[in-house]
């Protein structure tokens, strides 16, 4: 756990201002109390945060707005964990985070959330949003107002964002194709794709990388259909059940968004234990389905690092510690999980 000024203040039973004065030798604090605070700092392993701030003694205020389509999507729990970790670390530097949780991929909902964060006076926005012309224009409007935009988890085309923090989805799709080619025993792969939303660039890129690599590997395959679940387990189960019941020749299901539990339930309900299931992320329900053999493997994308580095980069840009022109995209690792190592 990161030990902050707030941690020390709580342990010592004093205000953060008192702790700050002791640590930076400013103002008058009783010797006994100052000694107590310094002793606690040593015992708890406090590390002074960011030399520049300590030298300046000036507390800036950086308000960062974050929008995540996290309602009903357990993947974003990990992103939020990373955000919370960054908040603890950067709180002393004046960072305030406003998190807006929304549901699904409705364009009007996404645009409204961005506008609400703007109204709250955010100087930077970290957005996990959809790839539509209207959203791209909204991002450009923010940039014209001086609001810095970082895109998280999925990118937006032609948007003038500062940088992207998330997975390399083309690479992830290629990895799925490569693994599938190694384990498949079918003469021809007949594939059902279950995606979250065609509006999410990341979901589209997972399909693009997957198809391109299967072609490069000379795999005999056919994408028979593509279903959009809107990341709903209920919709994913209903639509997948319908398709598997009507098309007995399907032998692979490739899930590129949430809704994995629903797809797994459909595979079980239709008795299709011959199907090769592929999905993403090691949330609880997915872990259990991999262990049960319903999904052969999943590709994970370190959601906590996505949340943490989005906040970190927003702070770096707002504080001027990194020039925004030099800010590059940040890609998390592409991690393969199978029954032997998932959930560990």
Share of the chain above pLDDT 70, in %: 94
In the predicted model, is pLDDT for residue 187 greater than 50? yes
The predicted-structure confidence for 288-332, as pLDDT tens digits, reads as follows 999 999 999 999 999 999 999 999 999 999 999 898 888 999 999
Please report the pLDDT score of residue 52 as a whole number. 46
Lowest-confidence range among 2-11, 26-35, 112-121, 137-146? Answer: 26-35
Please report the pLDDT score of residue 47 as a whole number. 72
> How many CA atoms does the CB half-sphere of 177 hold within 13 Å?
26
pLDDT-based confidence at residue 34 (cuts at 50, 70, 90): confident
The predicted-structure confidence for 133-182, as pLDDT tens digits, reads as follows 999 999 999 999 999 999 999 999 999 999 999 999 999 999 999 999 99
DSSP string, 96-118: EEEEEE--S--HHHHHHHHHHHH
Please report the pLDDT score of residue 48 as a whole number. 64
DSSP string, 126-188: EE-----HHHHHHHHHHHHTT-EEEEESS--TT---SEEEE--HHHHHHHHHHHHHHH---SS
Query: Strand 163-166 vs strand 330-331: parallel, antiparallel, or unpaired?
Result: parallel
In the predicted model, is pLDDT for residue 114 greater than 60? yes
pLDDT-based confidence at residue 69 (cuts at 50, 70, 90): very high
Please report the pLDDT score of residue 220 as a whole number. 98
pLDDT-based confidence at residue 20 (cuts at 50, 70, 90): confident
Residues 192 and 221: their CA atoms lie apart, in Å, by 11
| Domains identified in the chain and CATH numbers | 5-48 (no CATH), 62-167+303-332 (3.40.50.2300), 169-300 (3.40.50.2300)
Contacts of 146 (CB under 8 A, 6+ apart): 123
Residues 22 and 36: their CA atoms lie apart, in Å, by 10
In the predicted model, is pLDDT for residue 27 greater than 70? no
**Three-class secondary structure assignment of 67-83:** EECCCCCCHHHHHHHHH
Query: For the whole model, what pTM was predicted?
Result: 0.82
């Amino acid at each position: 756990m990161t030990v902050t000024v707030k941690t020390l203040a709580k342990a010592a039973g004093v205000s953060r201002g008192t702790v700050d004065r002791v640590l930076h030798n400013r103002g008058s604090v009783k010797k006994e109390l100052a000694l107590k605070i310094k002793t606690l700092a040593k015992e708890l392993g406090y590390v002074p945060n960011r030399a520049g701030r300590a030298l300046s003694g000036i507390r800036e205020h950086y308000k960062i707005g974050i929008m995540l389509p996290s309602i009903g999507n357990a993947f974003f729990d990990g992103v939020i964990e990373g955000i919370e970790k960054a908040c603890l670390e950067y709180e002393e530097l004046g960072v305030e985070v406003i998190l807006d949780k929304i549901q699904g991929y409705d364009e009007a909902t996404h645009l409204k959330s961005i506008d609400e964060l703007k109204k709250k006076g955010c100087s930077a926005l970290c957005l996990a949003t959809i790839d539509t012309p209207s959203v791209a224009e909204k991002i450009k409007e923010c940039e014209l107002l001086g609001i810095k935009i970082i895109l998280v988890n999925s990118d937006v085309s032609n948007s003038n964002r500062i940088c992207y923090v998330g997975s390399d989805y083309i690479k992830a799709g290629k990895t799925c194709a490569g693994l599938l080619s190694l384990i498949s025993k079918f003469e021809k792969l007949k594939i059902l794709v279950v995606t979250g939303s065609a509006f999410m660039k990341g979901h589209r890129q997972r399909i693009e990388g997957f198809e391109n690599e299967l072609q490069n590997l000379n795999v005999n395959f056919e994408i028979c259909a593509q279903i959009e679940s809107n990341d709903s387990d209920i919709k994913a189960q209903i639509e997948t059940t319908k398709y598997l019941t009507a098309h007995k020749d399907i032998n692979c299901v490739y899930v590129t968004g949430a809704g994995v539990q629903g797809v797994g339930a459909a595979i079980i309900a239709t008795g299709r234990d011959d199907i090769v299931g592929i999905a993403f992320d090691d949330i609880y329900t997915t872990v259990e389905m991999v262990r049960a053999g319903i999904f052969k493997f999943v590709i994970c994308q370190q959601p906590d690092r996505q949340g943490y580095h989005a906040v970190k980069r927003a702070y770096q840009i707002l504080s001027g510690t990194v020039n925004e022109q030099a800010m590059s995209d940040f890609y998390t690792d592409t991690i393969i999980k199978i029954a032997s190592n998932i959930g560990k």
